[in-house]
Structure 1
Amino acid sequence: MKIIYWSDFNCPYSYIGYTRLKNAINELKLDVELDMKAFELEQELDDEIIPMVNHYARKYGIPEFQAKDMLKEIDDIGKAEGLDFDYSNAKITPSKDAHRLLKFAKSKNNPDLIENITVKLFEAFLCENKPLNSQEVLVDIGTSVGLDESEITNMLNSNSYEIEVQIDEEDAKLNGVQAVPCYFVENSEEMLVIPGALSTEEFKNALKDLKSGKIESKTL
């Protein structure tokens, strides 16, 4: 089974969905290949570091006290999944370089490395309040999973993998992906599209139905 999914490291529901999906896969003891595709939610951002409360208030046209309540709700959802969310105090920046770093990690063809760096990139922003456009942050993350510091630095100082990120985002449009997370689950000749961060049980039911050939009765 293979799951191609579009996510963004700036998106709390992308990490929540990833966690629930991994739990479902592990509980079902499935052999699954995961392939994350880039989807930048906030492409209009420049390199300014913006507190999440201000960003939410501006984005949704709401007062800051309401934005704080919304962010706290998301923190609580993450914590219920065992994630040490501090999204309320995050500072949002562009995520393109984080996606480029993941592409670079994929070039090493090491599934454990890819999984580790994916989690660390989510945690850096959503749990540790680190800016994802910081070269220092990205180099620290990369070296912590075993990537070479000079190779990471050279990659980040170039335009390497920018085209690959753009291709992912064009593919998202072609496949009708308008929000993340969104999962395309392939099993033999069958395909199931799962939009959004389902619960672990819902993911388990969807994966079991696909594996058993009963997806025709599945509504997501």
Structure 2
Amino acid sequence: MTVDIFSDIRCPFCYVGKKKFEKALDKFAKRDDIKVVWHSYQLDPYLQTQPDRDPYDFFSESKGIHLQQAKMMHEHAKNAGIEAGIEFNFDNQKIANSYRGHLLIQLAKQKGIANEMEEELFKAQFIDARNIDDENELISIGKNAGLTEDEVKNALNSDELKNKIAEDSLLARKIGVRAVPFFVFNDKYAVSGAQSPEVFLEVLEKSYEEFSAGSTGLNLIDSL
């Protein structure tokens, strides 16, 4: 059974959602029968990389809110991270466009290591405070996930992988994705947000029961 996940590596709650979903999957008896498919989704495709910019000041300005409110919102995300087992390093995070990171994810999908790539990119953005739009950083991140330096360099200039990102963006619009993380179970049940492991496990069990009985869902993904 397939679980499709729409996610952006610049989204802290996408990282939280990944961890909570994985906790549910660890408790799911048929976890070896689950295929996870990652889809690229950029919350801010026009963001300009500014690695030296203060992250709270940037967030305050981009959202049109007071600096103190921006810091409070990050504190909320930090607490959500702790609950999921993540120690967010918001103070030092780099403001960087995620597009080139998504190119590596698309390549990693083809090589069967998308989950590893997602984890490395999330870690780079939110824990190690690395610039995920910098080629040298991406080479290092990609190698940590299992790619070679040449594979990373080729991916960053690949029209094929750029088209894959565009296809994911079109798919997201067609099925009505407005926010991430966004999970689709067995091409039928959608879960939006970083829900609790209990919610994910409940949907896993229900959708897998239907899948085992022969249901192929509503073809939300496959028909597009």
Distance 2:133 2:25 in 1: 31
- Sequence identity (%): 27
> How far apart are the structure 2 equivalents of 1:163 and 1:153?
17
* Structure 2, gaps ≥5 residues long: 211-224
Which whole-Å CA distance do the structure 1 matches of 2:81 and 2:10 have between them?
14
CA RMSD across the alignment: 1.6
- Rounded to whole Å, the distance in 1 between the matches of 2:202 and 2:155 is 41
AA partner of residue 161 (structure 1) = L
1:75 lines up with 2:78 in the alignment: yes
Is 1:202 the counterpart of 2:199 in the alignment?
Answer: yes
Per-residue CA shift, 1:108-141, capped at 9, x if unaligned? 2x3xx32221101111101111111011111001
Kept after mapping to 2: 8 A contact 1:5/1:183: yes
**Runs (5+) with no aligned partner, structure 1:** 214-220
| Contact preservation (8 Å) 1:9, 1:121 | yes
1:39-58 aligned at under 5 Å gives the runs 39-49=41-51, 50-58=53-61
User: C-alpha distance in 1, partners of 2:144/2:46?
Assistant: 30
Contact 1:72 1:88 (8 Å CA) reproduced: no
Residue aligning to 1:105: 108
Tell me the SS of whatever aligns to 2:97.
Answer: coil
Q: By how many angstroms is 1:92 displaced?
A: 1.9
Normalising by structure 2, we get a TM-score of: 0.86
- 1:95 matched to which residue of 2? 98
Residues in 2 aligned to 1:143 and 1:180: alpha-carbon distance in whole angstroms: 27
* Among candidates 60, 63, 67, match of residue 60 of structure 1: 63
TM-score w.r.t. length of structure 1: 0.88
Counterpart position of 2:222: none
Partner of 2:137: 137
State the distance in 2 between where 1:93 and 1:17 align: 21
TM-fit CA distance, 1:160: 4.5
Please tell me the residue identity of whatever aligns with 1:17: G
